[in-house]
Amino acid sequence: MLVAYCVMAQPPALIVQDAWVREVPGSDVAAVYLILRNPTTQPISIVGVESSVASHAMIHETQTQSGQSRMRPHEQLVVPAGQTVKLEPGGLHVMLHGVTQSTPVGQSVPLALLLADGQKVQVAAVVRPLNAQ
């Protein structure tokens, strides 16, 4: 007797869309922006970021207080169940420090988002011109 089993592929836990980094010639820091979508019924926590082209990567948040823009680390980012979180200029973003190589416009910068459950989500952020929004 032949028995066939259909294994349903699990939907991705975290969907990353429109990942990009602004070209900053001559600088060893860069900001990465992207859209995170959680199609699951459970919140997903991002506890860290890695990149092979930077010595340090972390999620930052820009806030304006008394007319001054300030950045501060955002230790853990939670993407609520069924929700979308945008990392965009003037708000949440990934900061890359100690960037070791320049990447021309159109090329990609590799990142890995580290999830609280131990998974890594690989991301390729496309380099856009300095004036990109």
- Average pLDDT, integer, range 118-129: 94
Alpha-carbon gap, residue 14 to 114, rounded angstroms? 11
pLDDT exceeds cutoff 60 at 121 = yes
**And the tokens for 111?**
């990142």
- Which class is 15-128 in CATH? mainly beta
What are the extents of the domains in the chain?
15-128
What does residue 49 show for φ and ψ, rounded to 5 degrees? -140, 145
44-89: per-residue pLDDT in tens? Answer: 999 999 999 999 999 998 777 777 777 777 788 999 999 999 999 9
- Cβ atoms within 10 Å of 111's Cβ, excluding its own: 25
Most distant CA pair in the chain, distance = 75
Which are the contacts of 10, defined by CB distance < 8 A and separation ≥ 6? none
